[in-house]
Amino acid sequence: MLVRFACSVAALTCSGAGLAQEMAAAVASPASDFDAIIVTGRAAGSEMRKAEASYAITTIDQQSLKLAPPISTADTFRRVPGFWVESSGGEGSNNVRSRGIPTDGYSSVGLQENSLPVQYDGALGYLNADQSFRVDDTIARVEAVRGGPASIFSPNSPGGVVNFITRRGTDTPGGAGSVRYTFTDTTAHRVDAWFGKEIAPNLGLLVGGFYREGDGMRDMGFTAEKGGQIRATLNYDDGDNSVLLDVRHLDDRTPFYLPVPLTFNSDGGIIAVPGFDPLRDTLAGSNNQRVAIKNVGGPFDFDLTEGSHTQLTAVTLEAKVRMAEGVHFETRNRYRTSDILRNALFPTGNVDTIANYRTSLLAQARAGGLTGATGIQLRYADDGSAVPADANGNGLLVQGNFLSASVPLDEIISDNRITATVGNHALAAGVTYAHSDFRFDRYMGTALLDVRGNSRRVDAVAVDAAGAVVGRVTDDGFLRYGSLFDNAGISTDNIAFYAGDEWQLTPEIRIDFAGRYEKLSFRGLVANKRTVNLGDPTTIADNNVTTFGDGYVRVNQRYDGFGWTVGGNWQFEPNMGMFARYTDTFRLPSAGEWSGNPTRTDQGKVPIKMGEVGFKYGASAVSLFATAFWTKFERLTLTDWYFDNATSTYLSRVAIAGSETFGVEAEARVRPVGWFDLGLALTWQDPNYKNFTYTDATGNPVDFSGRQLIRVPKLAVRLTPGINLFDDRLRGEVEVEHYTKRFADIANSQPLPAFTNVNLNLRAVVTENVAAGLNVSNLFDTLQLTEGNPRAGSFVSGDAGAQYFLARPNFGRIIRASATVSF
Q: What is the pLDDT of residue 504?
A: 95
Question: 97 and 713 in contact (C-beta within 8 Å)?
Answer: no
Q: What is the pLDDT of residue 30?
A: 52
Q: If 0-12 CB within 10 Å is exposed, 13-18 middle and 19+ buried, where does residue 764 land? A: middle
The Cα–Cα gap between 387 and 361 comes to 15
Q: What is the pLDDT of residue 93?
A: 86
How many angstroms from the chain centroid is the CA of residue 265? 32
Q: What is the pLDDT of residue 27?
A: 57
Describe the chain by its helix, strand, coil percentages, rounded to 5.
10, 55, 35
Q: Report the SS3 class of residue 579.
A: strand
Helix axes 2-9, 19-27, angle to 10 degrees: 100
Q: What is the pLDDT of residue 125?
A: 86
Q: Which of 457, 480, 461 is nearest to 472 (CA)?
A: 461
Q: What is the pLDDT of residue 485?
A: 96
The Cα–Cα gap between 364 and 544 comes to 13
List the domain boundaries for the chain: 2-822
pLDDT along the chain (823 residues), means of 10: 34 39 52 77 84 90 90 89 90 87 85 96 91 96 89 92 96 94 95 97 98 95 96 96 98 96 95 97 96 95 97 98 96 98 93 96 94 95 96 97 98 97 95 98 97 98 95 97 96 98 95 97 97 96 96 97 97 93 95 92 93 94 95 89 82 90 96 95 96 87 95 96 95 97 95 97 96 98 94 90 95 97 95
The Cα–Cα gap between 200 and 258 comes to 50
How many angstroms from the chain centroid is the CA of residue 40? 20
Q: What is the pLDDT of residue 642?
A: 82
Q: What is the pLDDT of residue 28?
A: 53
The Cα–Cα gap between 42 and 50 comes to 12
The Cα–Cα gap between 448 and 326 comes to 68
Q: Which of 712, 711, 804 is nearest to 278 (CA)?
A: 804
Instruction: Name the CATH code of domain 2-822 (choices 3.40.190.10, 3.30.70.330, 2.40.170.20, 3.30.450.40).
Output: 2.40.170.20
Number of H helices, E strands in the chain: 6, 45
Q: If 0-12 CB within 10 Å is exposed, 13-18 middle and 19+ buried, where does residue 373 land? A: buried
Q: What are phi and psi of 389, to 5 degrees?
A: -65, -30
Q: Which of 276, 631, 643 is nearest to 446 (CA)?
A: 643
CA 151 vs CA 129, 215, 420, 482: distances in Å: 16, 39, 22, 40
Q: Which of 67, 277, 285 is nearest to 816 (CA)?
A: 67
One-letter amino acid for residue 533 of the chain: N
